[in-house]
Structure formats: structure tokens, C-alpha cells
A and B are shown apart, each in its own frame.
Chain A
């Protein structure tokens, strides 16, 4: 079973989407060169892992590439051409292959037909790619987290016939007989092997790209632990989409599995919660994270409720939409899954008393699930005061506001405790609305 993250969560955290501005996928995809690489990266994003050993293996591989500082040695067009060439296919036996090439050659000479030129260019391109690939693989160590993946590629490249092809490097143009022979070799005899080579190149593309992003952005690698240990901690979590984002620590365990977060509207609660969610998700992909010294027990999934849209066409108020979202999460949690849950400012569209009652009841009920980790933000600080007395498994943190005269400034640095900061009235005062009305 793979790690679960539903549509709402993916939207909240802005994880997927090539064309969505600032998506986490886009952050990594920016360094990927090939279409095949993009596809592979997308697959990885859509299927985070759920096995700690597999996660650690993958993250070690990325780490290895980060240190290797390779640059992707191919150009996208080169590989596209090679794909086209390989997809063309050739004759079933050497003789028909030869006659096919001959046919194209004659037509080309007589009628300036392009088919022969395309075939020859494709073959040259493929030869070039194979030579470059062999060079790159030579730069990788015999013993590395990646060696199991490059070994089969090396075996293919060391095929006597391909060695011969690579040796033709200086000897172009080739005689027609040889062209036909190699064409037949690549497009028929070694067809599957060539597909494997292409896959290997795309994989290389993704690994180099991810290593590159990690190096550029100073990301680090999370260490996965078996689920039963129930821990999730990091020294410095920040938002990968924000350069120079403020870092905050997180530490959740079985005995302290819920973080109760308070702070004013603009103080950065949502950003922190998103940062945390993204780090958890990337960690489960074995990807580098915008966090330091992150250690985590593998979870079954993540659910967030940050920007729940109302559905007025279905007659859902915002309040009801939130209730339904909480219900979905409650159902998943109650199935005994180990989940990470993020609730940002629940129960907005109701009265103060109901919001208080609902937040308290729901938070307390969730907190009992010690195998799940929760971050819950709210403005109803009284809920925190009650929970502080009744539950010993909560931690309380807030994002502070520093007032400079009437202008609020934010540190984005979490502090311990509960804050009553709110600035709704301040915004109204700063706009001078009451004075305007009274004038």
C-alpha cells in the first residue's frame, strides 16, 4: 500500500502540477531536461513510498548524486531524435534491413528523398548518445548506492557489437553495408536493450536534477524509521518554495503527538503547516527536504484541511464543507492508520460558541490517536487552555507578532506557548474605517 494523500491535501500543499506556479513538483522539474525524465519525476510524486528501507535507499542515491555534482550530458533534442529513430523499427533480418537501407539510399540519390538522411542522422545520434552514456557511467563509482542501477546498463554497453559501433566514432561516414548492419542491430536485435538504455538515461536525468536542486537549495535528507517507533522530528523545517524562509523545529512522538498552534492572521501559521506537510510528503518520496536532521517513522498518509472551498452550488456552506472534511479524516484515522493530519483554523463560518465547542471536542477526540501526528491551528486560545489541563500529549507553540507602533511585524519564528494575538481590528483601524463612518 502506498502513502495516501488525497486531492485536497495535494492542493493545500501545492505539490503537483507542472504548470501550477510554485508547485513543489515544478521546483524539481525545473532542473529535469527530458520529457521521459519529467514523466518519471511525476510518477515519483504520485507514488510516495511506504517502506522505510526503500525510502532510505532512494534518498542515499539522491545524496550520492548531489555529491557527484554531475551535469546531465545530453540535450533534449538529441534524445527526442534518438527516440524517434528507435521507434521507427527496421527489417526483420539482416538482408531485408540491408535492402531497406539500400532502397532509401537510391531514392535519396535519385529524388532527394529525405528518408535516408533521417535514418543516417538517427543512427549517428544514437551512436553519440551511447558514447556519452558510457563516459558518464565511467564517472560513477563501482560501489555506490546507484551501482545496482548502472550495472545492467554497463552490461548492455559492453556488448561486443555496441563496443564496435562506439569505436566507429572517428570513421564516419560509414559504408552502406555497415550502416544497414548497425541499423538492424539497434532497431531490431537490441531493441529491448535500447529501451532499457533510454529508461536509464531518464532515470539519470531525474537523479542529477534532484541532486542539483538539493545542492542549490541546501536541502537535506530525511532518515526513515519503521512505523512502530512513532516519531517525527526535524531541527529546521522551512518552506521549499520560499527563498531564505525562516526555519522552525518540530518534534512529535507518541507521547506528544499534537502541536497546538496559535498566532495572528499573517503570522505564518499556514506557511509553517504547509512547510511541515511538504517535508513529510517529500520525505516519503525519499527526496531531499527543506528541513535539517529530519527523522521520521513511515506513515500511511497525510491529510490536511487548509483551504477547504465551500461548495455553494451543492448548498454547502463553508462550515459544512469543513465538517465534511473533518469527517473524512476522522474515518481514516479511526481505521487505525498512522497518519499525519493538519487542520488550519477549523470551523470559521459559525458562531463563537459553536466554534469553541467544535474545536475542543474534535481536537480532544483526535488527540487520543497517539499513532497519528497532528498540527492544529486556531484563534480560539481557550481551547488550548482547556486541553493543556486535560491532555498531557499536546505541545503548544505560537508564531509571534511584534508591534512597531501600529504596524505589525512578524518573526515567523515559533515560540512555546499560546498567544492571543489577533489583528482583525488592527486592519480595520489602520484603514481608518471607524473614523470615516463617524466623520
Chain B
């Protein structure tokens, strides 16, 4: 089953980026080849769904991160090779007949494309061969190495690997190789290139992980219901403050409070991004991470806001909750984020609704919820109602009259009430008082 998520979530977490800032995809997009980039995007579009494949992919990234080898191919070769392979019309196939005069004079562009394409593929295959030989037998990449070796064993390709690679290929050889590469062994060549592009992704992601000090999370079976995030931080926030969090069965609802600027949204995105990457088998901006595999992620952080509609913004939030509720009702294990739940309505309705919905979520023991709200009063009530709710907050310290934020999670419910502080800072009551005298 595919990993569940939706456009709202991808936008909230800025996975592919629409708002001009660099997307999460962009952090990893350091591939040498265009096809590698496409493959990377595909990985982002379709995260994995079982722990074994996540861990396997992760160990390969880890291997390349620690072995630091550079992509062993000249990247421009791939464009030439792809262009050459794209023409599969039988009529362009070279025959054994003597060459025409124009091609002898070097003016036959078609022929040139063919010879250049063949040379590029020979270079690629030979580099691949050399690279594989240098690979340790116990590397996690070994399984793919064996697959490639098997493909290379093909008789026709063996002769290509033995080409000295210097000087011009004689015409007879060009004719034979063209037949191998474009026609007889086309499928094998495609698969080999695919492996190379995959290698490109492994290496570039590994390099990013090494450079930025990302960790390689360990995927646990879903039943374990354990999430351990050490030193997790937002990869796009400069000097982001790392936070640590353990989530276990029986305390699967996180109730987050804190002042407006205290970093609630950033923390929520941090967890969302971390878990999203982890489910792709990708390295995560954290120092250590273990997680039980989930069926999907749904976030509601920047719900499109149509304030002119008044009451219906609340309704939009209600519908969003309903959508998540439906997925939960089908027994899915989800990671659910709601930022400032029910901010679209008056405080009293928001208070009641937050309590009711949060408490209902607490009954869904196989999913994990992260809910932030400015209605801190709801927390005290929820504390009485359910033991499954963990209360965390991001504190604000007042330095004279300027708020200072630590961005470090603490346990409990914030008692920071800045509404009145802001009103006092703006001097509204004094303005009105002075006007009367």
C-alpha cells in the first residue's frame, strides 16, 4: 500500500516548494544527471511503506555517505547516450555496406551521433565496471552490484568492456556495436543506465547527509509504536534549535502550546519533515532517530485562509478534521499535525471543539497526533480526560518587555499569556485613559 499524504501536507512541509523558498526536495537534489533528479523526485512522490525496504535504502545511503566516493562518470556522457538511445527506428540501423562518401568526409550528422553515442556508452559501461570492481564485497550496495554484474555478463557487452577506448572505432565495429546497444541488448542497456541513475541518487543523497550531518533513521515494525527523535531540527531554518522527543504507545497525542512567535509551527514542520524523510528511507536532520512505520502523514498548518468568509473558515477546518477522521476510521496508522486547531472561530467554540476532537483522537491508539493551540485552557481539561495526551510547550521568557524564545521543548502547558502584554505594550488603555482627562 502506498504511503498516504496529500497536497495540503506537501505544501505545509514545503516538500516540493511552491512558495519560492528552497523545497526539501531541493536540499537533496544534487544529482549529476537529469535522470537521477527525476528518480529522486519519484522517491519523494512515493515514500516507502515497509520497514525492511526503508532500512535497506537507508543503509545504502549510509554506505555512500561514509565512503564519500564521487560519482565515477562524466555526467555529460549521459545526455549523449540518451539522445543516441532515443532513436530506435530500424531504418537508422547501420548496415555492413561501405559508407557513403558524405560520411567519409565527416559530414554525416546521423553517423556522428551514432559513433559518439556508442563511445559514450562504452565509457559509461567501462567506468561502471571499474567502479563495481573497487566495491567492497560486504557493502550494502552488493545486491545491486550482483544484478549489474549479471547484466554485464552478456556476451556482446563483454566485448565492449574490452575496447581500448582510444582512437576511432573502425566502421565494422561501429556497425556491430550499434546493433548490440540500440537493438539486440537495448533492454539491458536501459536497465544498466537505470542502475547508474540510482547510483547517482545514492551518492548525492549520501553526500548531502555527510555534509550536513544528517542521521540515518532506523525503521521499526509498525506494531512497536515507538518513535524516538534525538536532536531533530528544521533543515531550512538557520541555526535551528534541535529538540528531542520520545513517543510511545499510550502517550500518542502531543498537545503543544506556546506564544505566537515561540516556534510552534516550525517544530511541527520539523517533526513532519523528519517523519516524511524517514519513510522514504532518507537521512534526517537529527542526531538519532528510530520510528515505527506509519501508513501516512496528514498536516494542517497553513490551511488556505479566506477570512472574508468568516464562519466558513471554521467550516473549512471542520472539513479538514473530517477528512483525517475518515482515514483514521478506516484503521490507518497516521501521523497527524494540526496547527492552531480552530483558530477560525471564537475562543469559546474553539475551546469546546479542541477538547472534543483532541479527546477523540486520544482514542486512536495506533496513530500519532501533534496538536497546537492557543487555547491553553483546553489543556487542563484534557489532562483530566485522558492519560494518552502528552503536554509540551515552547516557552517565552520576558526580558524586561521583550519576549525571548528558547525554541526548546519543555513538558507541561505554557502559562505565557501574551495577549494582554501585547495590548499593554501598544498602550491602548493608556491612550483611551489619557484622552478622557
Q: Kindly state whether residue B149 has any CB partner on chain A within 8 Å.
A: no
Residue of B nearest to A354 (CB): B419
User: Contact string, B329-367, partner A, CB cutoff 8 A, digits 1/0?
Assistant: 100000000001011111111111100110011011000
Neighbouring A residues of B159 by C-beta, 8 Å = none
Neighbouring B residues of A327 by C-beta, 8 Å = 426-428, 431
Neighbouring B residues of A315 by C-beta, 8 Å = 261
CA distance A49 to B1 in the complex (A): 69
User: Contact string, A328-360, partner B, CB cutoff 8 A, digits 1/0?
Assistant: 001101111000000001011111111101100
Residue of B nearest to A337 (CB): B435
- B365 vs chain A, min Cβ distance (A): 12
Neighbouring B residues of A31 by C-beta, 8 Å = none
Q: Kindly state whether residue B307 has any CB partner on chain A within 8 Å.
A: yes
Neighbouring A residues of B314 by C-beta, 8 Å = 265, 424, 427
- Please determine whether A433 and B432 come into contact, CB atoms closer than 8 angstroms: no
Neighbouring B residues of A355 by C-beta, 8 Å = 347, 419
- Please determine whether A334 and B348 come into contact, CB atoms closer than 8 angstroms: no
Q: Kindly state whether residue B70 has any CB partner on chain A within 8 Å.
A: no
Contact check: which of B261, B348, B434 meets A352 at CB < 8 Å? B348
Q: Kindly state whether residue B87 has any CB partner on chain A within 8 Å.
A: no
- Please determine whether A424 and B345 come into contact, CB atoms closer than 8 angstroms: yes
Neighbouring A residues of B431 by C-beta, 8 Å = 327, 330-331, 334
Q: Kindly state whether residue B422 has any CB partner on chain A within 8 Å.
A: yes
- A373 vs chain B, min Cβ distance (A): 16
User: Contact string, B287-321, partner A, CB cutoff 8 A, digits 1/0?
Assistant: 00000000000000000010110110011001101
Neighbouring B residues of A320 by C-beta, 8 Å = 260, 422
CA distance A307 to B307 in the complex (A): 7
Given A334-B434, A353-B377, also A380-B326 (CB < 8 A): no
Residue of B nearest to A365 (CB): B432
- A148 vs chain B, min Cβ distance (A): 41
Residue of B nearest to A434 (CB): B360
CA distance A351 to B351 in the complex (A): 9
- Please determine whether B429 and A362 come into contact, CB atoms closer than 8 angstroms: yes
Q: Kindly state whether residue B376 has any CB partner on chain A within 8 Å.
A: yes
Residue of A nearest to B422 (CB): A323
Q: Kindly state whether residue A95 has any CB partner on chain B within 8 Å.
A: no
CA distance A352 to B325 in the complex (A): 26
Q: Kindly state whether residue B162 has any CB partner on chain A within 8 Å.
A: no
Secondary structure dominating the interface of A: helix
Given A350-B374, A351-B375, A380-B348, also A427-B417 (CB < 8 A): no
Contact check: which of B340, B375, B423 meets A362 at CB < 8 Å? B423
Q: Kindly state whether residue B104 has any CB partner on chain A within 8 Å.
A: no
Contact check: which of A366, A422, A438 meets B348 at CB < 8 Å? A422
Q: Kindly state whether residue A423 has any CB partner on chain B within 8 Å.
A: yes
CA distance A344 to B152 in the complex (A): 74
Neighbouring B residues of A334 by C-beta, 8 Å = 431-432, 434-436
CA distance A76 to B314 in the complex (A): 47
CA distance A26 to B427 in the complex (A): 39
Neighbouring B residues of A390 by C-beta, 8 Å = none
Q: Kindly state whether residue B249 has any CB partner on chain A within 8 Å.
A: no
Q: Kindly state whether residue B133 has any CB partner on chain A within 8 Å.
A: no
- B342 vs chain A, min Cβ distance (A): 7
Neighbouring B residues of A219 by C-beta, 8 Å = none
Residue of A nearest to B348 (CB): A379
Given A266-B311, A424-B353, also A431-B318 (CB < 8 A): yes
Neighbouring A residues of B325 by C-beta, 8 Å = 433, 436-437
Q: Kindly state whether residue B322 has any CB partner on chain A within 8 Å.
A: yes
Q: Kindly state whether residue B171 has any CB partner on chain A within 8 Å.
A: no
- A230 vs chain B, min Cβ distance (A): 16
CA distance A335 to B431 in the complex (A): 9
Neighbouring A residues of B356 by C-beta, 8 Å = 425, 428, 434
- Please determine whether B329 and A436 come into contact, CB atoms closer than 8 angstroms: yes
- B9 vs chain A, min Cβ distance (A): 19
CA distance A438 to B331 in the complex (A): 10
CA distance A436 to B305 in the complex (A): 25
Q: Kindly state whether residue B328 has any CB partner on chain A within 8 Å.
A: yes
- Please determine whether A438 and B345 come into contact, CB atoms closer than 8 angstroms: no
Q: Kindly state whether residue B238 has any CB partner on chain A within 8 Å.
A: no
Q: Kindly state whether residue A64 has any CB partner on chain B within 8 Å.
A: no
Please, could you name 22 A-B residue pairs with CB atoms under 8 Å apart, sorted by A? A265-B314, A307-B307, A318-B307, A319-B374, A330-B431, A334-B434, A350-B374, A351-B417, A352-B351, A353-B417, A357-B419, A362-B423, A365-B432, A378-B346, A379-B348, A422-B349, A424-B346, A428-B321, A433-B325, A433-B360, A436-B326, A437-B328
- Chain A interface (Cβ within 8 Å of chain B)? 265-266, 270, 307-310, 315, 317-320, 323-324, 326-327, 330-331, 333-336, 345, 347-355, 357-358, 361-362, 365-366, 368-369, 378-380, 422-425, 427-428, 431, 433-434, 436-439
- Chain B interface (Cβ within 8 Å of chain A)? 260-261, 305, 307-308, 310-311, 314-315, 318-319, 321-322, 325-326, 328-329, 340, 342-353, 356-357, 360-361, 363-364, 374-377, 417-420, 422-423, 426-429, 431-436
